[in-house]
Structure 1
Amino acid sequence: MKINGSEIRPGYVIEHAGGLWAAVKTAHVKPGKGGAFNQVELKNLIDGTKLNERFRASESVERIHLDLNDYQFLYAEGENLVFMDNESYEQLELQKDFVGDRAAFLQDGMKVTVQSHEGRPIGISLPDQVVLAVAEADPVVRGQTAASSYKPAITENGLRVMVPPFVEAGERIVVDTNEITYVRRAD
């Protein structure tokens, strides 16, 4: 679907310069001299590179709609992660590099959303928060109130997270998968 360059909004996926790009930030600019334009920060969905581009209202770009499919994480096999489509039960193998650092959050049976374009996976969305057990937590240092009261802890999957002083090894905590930060104790 063709849209004008001035209609690009954050979250839109467009085809530009031979690749698929997601609009991260947009700003409409009206300079004192010349025509108005839309300053767009783009992120390449394939390799993650960023680009700042100006689009005038007279330019048109192709807006791409991605297919979103729900999958369930089954297991890791070497450098591959195996997912199952919840509707067709077909299995999908993705490289660990495709998921990136967030692969450490994957747990058996976890539901994820795979974004694809023309049958090719280009992105994956994990739940915003996961529950993890704390494997190690440093002891509390008494009287350390002038500095931050958070202490380092290591979760069951090897992630290092800063937690409040009352969290101890063996407890289950909720961790934000986007920021990799402590949210709260798990119920």
Structure 2
Amino acid sequence: YVGDFRKGMKVLLDGQPCEMLSVEFKKPGKGQAVYTTRIRNLLNGKTYDIKYRSGDSLESADIRNSDGIYSYFDGTDYIFLDNESFEQVGLSGEVCGYQMKFIPENTECGLLYWNGQLIGVTPPKHIVLEVTYTEPAAKGDTATNVTKAATVDVGGEVQVPAFIAQGNRIKIDTESGTYIERVND
């Protein structure tokens, strides 16, 4: 039922597995309560904003979670080693999304299966990477929230504060691809 909708819940929408990214409850002065949801199709990565009234329901998707290790990128697919079956499984770059740009090889990830097919990957929420290239900070550029682009050792690009220099290690939120903090080892 709609009242049970939660962020992260896996449901079937038009026969395809989807994940709820957000759920908002609104109760107007008159009429029925409305739940506004943002749902991502786990097969093609598309997101949809859908409104449901109280009393509506969706079928839950039978998703199996497994642990795996990211092995390598072969040019089109990301290849993972399933820790339970010890099989290599691949998933296209479009389905994996931009978050894989921040994941180094041999990183543990969650694998999502639906009907025996790999349909999604859950990388670690945060990852620490080294900055391999960034422009030096301009002298006198001390205004608040000044950012610049930085390339990390696995090739991804992230916006960082002006004080970050080449060689610094930074923590990145893999879900949004944003800088969190500088890490001092």
Structure-2-length-normalised TM-score: 0.82
Please name the residue that 1:72 is paired with.
69
| 2:8 and 2:20 in contact (8 A); partners too | yes
Please report how far the alpha carbon of residue 7 of structure 1 lies from its aligned counterpart in structure 2 after TM superposition: 2.6
Please report how far the alpha carbon of residue 33 of structure 1 lies from its aligned counterpart in structure 2 after TM superposition: 4.7
| 1:22 and 1:44 in contact (8 A); partners too | yes
Residue 19 of structure 1 is aligned with which of 16, 20, 36? 16
Please name the residue that 2:89 is paired with.
92
Q: Which amino acid aligns with 2:54?
A: R
Please name the residue that 1:50 is paired with.
48
Q: Which amino acid aligns with 2:47?
A: T
Please report how far the alpha carbon of residue 184 of structure 1 lies from its aligned counterpart in structure 2 after TM superposition: 1.7
| 2:90 and 2:118 in contact (8 A); partners too | no
Unmatched 5+ residue regions in structure 1?
none
Please report how far the alpha carbon of residue 35 of structure 1 lies from its aligned counterpart in structure 2 after TM superposition: 4.2
Residue 41 of structure 1 is aligned with which of 28, 38, 42? 38
Residue 151 of structure 1 is aligned with which of 142, 148, 151? 148
Cα deviations across residues 66-85 of structure 1 (Å, max 9, x unaligned)?
21110111222232222111
Q: Which amino acid aligns with 1:184?
A: R
The 1:83–1:186 alpha-carbon spacing in structure 2 relative to 1, beyond 3 Å, is farther
| 1:20 and 1:45 in contact (8 A); partners too | yes
- 1:25 & 1:181 partners in 2: Cα distance? 19
Q: Which amino acid aligns with 2:160?
A: V
Identity %: 30
Please report how far the alpha carbon of residue 128 of structure 1 lies from its aligned counterpart in structure 2 after TM superposition: 1.5
| 1:69 and 1:115 in contact (8 A); partners too | yes
The 1:130–1:25 alpha-carbon spacing in structure 2 relative to 1, beyond 3 Å, is closer
- 1:74 & 1:39 partners in 2: Cα distance? 38
Cα deviations across residues 131-177 of structure 1 (Å, max 9, x unaligned)?
22222221221212235343332222333323344432223222221
- 1:66 & 1:23 partners in 2: Cα distance? 13
The 1:16–1:79 alpha-carbon spacing in structure 2 relative to 1, beyond 3 Å, is closer
Count residues in correspondence.
Answer: 183
Cα deviations across residues 55-76 of structure 1 (Å, max 9, x unaligned)?
332x443122421110111222
- 1:39 & 1:153 partners in 2: Cα distance? 36
Cα deviations across residues 59-115 of structure 1 (Å, max 9, x unaligned)?
443122421110111222232222111133111122222212222223221100011
Unmatched 5+ residue regions in structure 2?
none
- 1:104 & 1:26 partners in 2: Cα distance? 27
Please report how far the alpha carbon of residue 29 of structure 1 lies from its aligned counterpart in structure 2 after TM superposition: 4.3
